[in-house]
Amino acid sequence: MKSEIKVPVMGESVSEATISVFLATPGSYVDSGQEILELETDKVNQVLYAPASGSLSLKVEVGSSVKVGDVIGFIDTDAKAEEKPPEKKNVPVSQAPPPAPLKIEGAGSRKNGDDFLKGLEKKEQVTDLPKEAPRAVLQEGSHVTRKKMTGLRKTIAARLVEVKNKTAMLTTFNEIDMTSVMEIRSKEQEGFQKRHGVKLGFMSFFVKASVSALKAYPLINSFIDGDEIVTFGSYDIGVAVSTDKGLFVPVVKNCDELSFGAIEQTIGAHAKKAREGGISIDDLKGGSFTITNGGVFGSLLSTPILNPPQSAILGMHSIVKRPVVINDQVIIRPMMYVALSYDHRIVDGREAVLFLNHIKTSLEDPARMLLDL
């Protein structure tokens, strides 16, 4: 009996995928639930699992384009797993039988010479590079390699160009004294970790501060649809996660209803799924505002790019001790530059500056977040 292997539904807006890599060898025996291959879409990668145990047969190759619902192979459930051959025992050299003598038909004869030449030809054929191998071009004394862009990277590139061409993006900056937040983290870290099973990070503070600011300035929780301004009624915040395959922005839903612990747990779970290739379309849908943290890589200042169709994105950066003037005295404080990029078509400079100042005030005096000020 043959069990079909079909391309599954991978989200509302995903209809095509590319075969990225085989995780099991065609013709081999696989167990039910075993990873067979990986599908790459313009949004996420998804692993396909064996629907049953049996011999694997695939009708596609790496790089093939497939559509949702396509039958790309079968599992022959009548096949049985092959028994492993017995392990070879090491035999001492002294006990090993002597090698069989070589049979040479007329040394120096034409037949023997022809066989030798044929052997050389076969070796040359094996060592030839495949035609589809990536080309290496010598250019100005250095080697340049070519590699086809992944579907995800092409989508990222297209979206970045779209933002540049279709929005009036502008960035405003401010700096935050992180003393209060760092003191809370240091004081409460041990108890927080025991209670919630995750560390108390900076991101939950920024998420809560952003929710407070979005409530005060709802235009920033909006987007343009044709000639209409659509304002979100919920506070679903995307948190950018960097992976080997590109940047993902999983969404933490209903942040206004979540505790600091629930926010940190959700962010940690999303980040793990993204880096292990298990992120889903549902995890990436529906964000109304995005936060990205370049500070984890040492960035001091940047202008983050909008995540369409959202109208704004907040950029966090490195915390650096700097001299600042407080009450006419120069004091060293842990400071962070923050950046808010926004679509000037919908958000005026006044709202953007006040929004960022609201976040600054909330983080420098965290009690304001608890009192919803």
Residue-wise pLDDT tens digits, 187-236? 999 999 999 999 999 999 999 999 999 999 999 999 999 889 999 999 99
> Are 273 and 178 contained in the same domain?
yes
Number of independent structural domains in the chain:
2
> Are 210 and 67 contained in the same domain?
no
**Residue written as token pair 């870290």:** 189
> Are 67 and 177 contained in the same domain?
no
Instruction: Give percent helix, percent strand, percent coil of the chain, each to the nearest 5.
Output: 30, 30, 40
Q: Does the structure show a pLDDT above 70 at 105?
A: no
Name residue 254's beta-bridge partners: none
Domain that holds residue 291: 152-370
Q: Does the structure show a pLDDT above 70 at 355?
A: yes
> What tokens were used for 72?
């790309």
Last residue of a domain, one of 35, 59, 76: 76
* Distance of alpha carbon 51 from alpha carbon 139, whole angstroms: 49
> Are 156 and 63 contained in the same domain?
no
CA nearest to 239, candidates 198, 287, 205, 191: 287
* Distance of alpha carbon 242 from alpha carbon 270, whole angstroms: 11
**For residue 133, what pLDDT is reported?**
45
- Answer with the residue of higher pLDDT: 76 or 149: 76
> Are 50 and 172 contained in the same domain?
no
> Are 185 and 304 contained in the same domain?
yes
pLDDT digits (tens, 9 = 90+) for 19-57: 877 888 888 888 888 888 888 776 667 778 888 888 888
- Answer with the residue of higher pLDDT: 153 or 314: 314
> Are 210 and 331 contained in the same domain?
yes
In a 10 Å sphere around its CB, with 0-12 CB exposed, 13-18 middle and 19+ buried, how is residue 82 labelled? exposed
* Distance of alpha carbon 181 from alpha carbon 7, whole angstroms: 47
Q: How many CB atoms lie within 10 A of CB 121?
A: 10
Domain presence at residue 339: yes
Domain presence at residue 89: no
**For residue 117, what pLDDT is reported?**
46
pLDDT digits (tens, 9 = 90+) for 292-331: 999 888 899 999 999 888 999 999 999 999 999 999 999 9
* Residues in contact with 186: Cβ distance below 8 Å, sequence separation at least 6, in sequence order: none
Q: Do 316 and 336 contact (CB within 8 A), yes or no?
A: yes
Domain presence at residue 136: no
Cis check for the bond before 304: say yes or no (omega within 30 of 0).
no
Domain presence at residue 40: yes
> Are 35 and 157 contained in the same domain?
no
Last residue of a domain, one of 45, 76, 107: 76
pLDDT digits (tens, 9 = 90+) for 262-286: 999 999 999 988 888 778 878 888 8
> What tokens were used for 250?
């999983």
In 86-210 the beta strands, taken as DSSP E runs, fall at 136-139, 142-145, 169-177
**For residue 103, what pLDDT is reported?**
46
In a 10 Å sphere around its CB, with 0-12 CB exposed, 13-18 middle and 19+ buried, how is residue 326 labelled? exposed
Last residue of a domain, one of 25, 50, 76: 76
What's 249's DSSP letter?
-
> Are 302 and 173 contained in the same domain?
yes
CA atoms within 13 A on the CB side of 29: 9
Q: Does the structure show a pLDDT above 80 at 76?
A: yes
Provide the residue type at 21 as one letter. V
Q: What angle do CA 193, 199, 202 make, to 5 degrees?
A: 135
Domain presence at residue 293: yes
CATH code for the domain in which residue 17 is found: 2.40.50.100
> Are 237 and 365 contained in the same domain?
yes
> Are 191 and 279 contained in the same domain?
yes
Name the residues annotated as catalytic: 344, 348
Domain presence at residue 110: no
pTM above 0.75, yes or no: no
CATH code for the domain in which residue 315 is found: 3.30.559.10
Domain presence at residue 222: yes
Q: What is the mean pLDDT of residues 238-264?
A: 90
Domain presence at residue 107: no
Q: Does the structure show a pLDDT above 50 at 104?
A: no
> Are 244 and 339 contained in the same domain?
yes
Name residue 39's beta-bridge partners: 19, 46
